[in-house]
């Protein structure tokens, strides 16, 4: 099941379908917390007209699976899903989804926040923003 819960893909994703998949893990789930990162039209004082994400195939998926496993081990959560899109993404479209499930809300909130921070810190996924001045690579990840 973990392969369906951790993915890198070009196409969009469904928060509802992913949440339902996570909920199948246990009847003891009392809280689902989701984070959706979306493409915004403004960054670092500049207007953005589009985004392009590239990743290191194989290594990026491995890092996302590691983040999920560490979250399951270090937080009192029951399940977690992590999906990240690559390729061209239009302004307003969703980029990343993290869904954390636990018996109680605080554990799911903490795990979800940790997971997105860790994803941005360690996963080899790179973002290029298209501005009026040209394309700019954003260096938030390795």
Q: For residue 142, name the pLDDT band (cuts at 50, 70, 90).
A: very low
- 116-128 tens-digit pLDDT: 999 999 999 999 9
The structure's pTM equals 0.93
Q: Looking at the 3D structure of the chain, how many domains does it have?
A: 1
- Report the percent of the chain where pLDDT is more than 90: 86
- 79-108 tens-digit pLDDT: 999 999 999 999 999 999 999 999 999 999
Q: Select the more confidently predicted residue: 119 or 136.
A: 119
pLDDT at 2 > cutoff 70: no
d(CA 99, CA 97): 7
Q: Which residues, other chains included, contact 88 with Cβ-Cβ below 8 Å and sequence gap of 6+?
A: 50, 51, 52
What domain range includes position 128?
2-138
Using a 10 angstrom Cβ sphere, with 0-12 exposed, 13-18 middle and 19 or more buried, the burial of residue 4 is exposed
CATH number at residue 24: 3.90.1170.40
List, in sequence order, every beta strand (DSSP E) within the chain: 6-9, 31-38, 42-43, 46-55, 79-85, 87-89, 94-102, 125-131, 134-138
């Amino acid at each position: 099941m973990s392969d369906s819960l951790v993915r890198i893909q070009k196409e969009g994703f469904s928060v509802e379908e992913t949440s339902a998949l996570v909920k199948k893990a246990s009847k003891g789930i009392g809280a689902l917390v989701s984070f959706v990162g979306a493409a915004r039209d403004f960054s670092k004082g500049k207007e953005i007209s589009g985004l392009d994400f590239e990743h290191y195939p194989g290594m990026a998926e491995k890092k996302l699976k590691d983040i999920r496993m560490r979250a399951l081990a270090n937080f009192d959560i029951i399940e977690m899903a992590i999906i990240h899109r690559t390729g061209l993404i239009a302004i307003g479209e969703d980029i990343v989804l993290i869904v954390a499930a636990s018996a109680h809300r605080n554990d799911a909130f903490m795990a979800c926040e940790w997971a997105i921070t860790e994803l941005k810190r360690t996963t080899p996924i790179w973002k290029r923003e298209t501005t009026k001045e040209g394309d700019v690579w954003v260096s938030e990840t390795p």
